[in-house]
Amino acid sequence: MSHRARIALKIAVWGVCLTPLASLAYRAWTDDLGANPISAVTNTLGDWTLRILLASLAMTPLRIVLGLSWPIALRRLLGLFAFAYVCLHFSVWIVLDFFFDWARMGADIVKRPYITLGMLALLSLIPLAATSTTGMIRRLGARTWTRLHRLAYVAGVCGVLHYLWLAKVGVRDPYWYAAALAVLLGVRAWAWGRRAVRRRGAGVAATSTPAGA
Ligand code: HEM
């Protein structure tokens, strides 16, 4: 893929990821957030956190299944946008729901399992955002960095469980997200399995070949 095409793709990702924020700001400005504005802002930010997080998790399966290389160039940007959205989502909870009442926030994290799961998802994303620079990849080494970045799966699972837990009976969206996550992780598991079988096959071939043959 050409350098220009890569830049165009990244600009498109910026546009798509900033649009919900612009729309939310416009709705707030025009007093169009409905009867419960705090809930509208929290839920919109939560929805987009999950969508962008799943989009970032979809990049590797796209490469595995379709053999495309360009999605990998977007993975980091999408991951950072998911982190930015969850920070805003969390800030609304801190400022508008609890107004910096740390004791009540601590109690809420312990008391409500969906908040515990949301916190786990957020905490999993922090090391990923902190090590997203090229310098950090070099410092950690590709192997450690790749291992650390498996935390993205923990964030995805906890994020989906957070939504499943908080959703009211009859709301179907969280199940769609759960199905999408299962497919994305399933494709990875299938690729890992295939690689492991190939490696084992190569090992068996090497040991069964007589020395000097
Ligand atoms: C990666 C992490 C997270 C993801 C993916 C996420 C996602 C979501 C989603 C999809 C919703 C529901 C939106 C809807 O109903 O349309 C939601 C709601 C909510 N989230 Fe999160 N969230 C995350 C982290 C957190 C954290 C860290 C907190 C606070 C500690 C939090 C607090 C809430 C609250 C209070 C609601 C609204 C619940 C209600 O309507 O009663 N979330 N979140």
pLDDT in tens, the chain (213 residues): 788 989 999 999 999 999 999 999 999 999 999 999 999 999 999 999 999 999 999 999 999 999 998 899 899 999 999 999 999 999 999 999 999 999 999 999 999 999 999 999 999 999 999 999 999 999 999 999 999 999 999 999 999 999 999 999 999 999 999 999 999 999 999 999 999 999 888 887 777 766 545
Is 196 a member of any domain?
Answer: no
Could you identify the residue written with the tokens 């007589």?
A: 210
CA 120 / ligand 1 centre spacing (Å)? 12
Q: What angle do CA 194, 197, 199 make, to 5 degrees?
A: 110
Is 40 a member of any domain?
Answer: yes
Is 48 a member of any domain?
Answer: yes
> How far out from the chain centre does Cα 172 lie?
20
Total domain count for the chain? Answer: 1
Are the beta carbons of 140 and 148 closer than 8 angstroms?
Answer: yes
* Residue-level pLDDT at 203: 81
Is 97 a member of any domain?
Answer: yes
Does residue 90 line the site of ligand 1, with CB under 6 A?
Answer: yes
CA 176 / ligand 1 centre spacing (Å)? 16
CA 77 / ligand 1 centre spacing (Å)? 21
CA 126 / ligand 1 centre spacing (Å)? 17
pLDDT digits (tens, 9 = 90+) for 26-52: 999 999 999 999 999 999 999 999 999
Is 201 a member of any domain?
Answer: no
Does residue 162 line the site of ligand 1, with CB under 6 A?
Answer: yes
Q: Which residues contact 9 (CB under 8 A, 6 or more apart)?
A: 70, 73, 74
* Residue-level pLDDT at 15: 98
Does residue 49 line the site of ligand 1, with CB under 6 A?
Answer: yes
Is 122 a member of any domain?
Answer: yes
* Residue-level pLDDT at 58: 98
Please give the structure tokens belonging to residue 57: 């998790």
* Residue-level pLDDT at 202: 85
CA 39 / ligand 1 centre spacing (Å)? 10
Is 116 a member of any domain?
Answer: yes
* Residue-level pLDDT at 210: 64
* Residue-level pLDDT at 207: 76
pTM of the model: 0.94
Among protein residues, the one with the nearest Cα to ligand 1's atom 15 is: 43
Is 209 a member of any domain?
Answer: no
Does residue 85 line the site of ligand 1, with CB under 6 A?
Answer: no
* Residue-level pLDDT at 80: 98
**What domain range includes position 159?**
3-185
Please give the structure tokens belonging to residue 67: 């053999």
* Residue-level pLDDT at 170: 93
* 162-99-19-134 Cα dihedral, nearest 10 degrees: -70
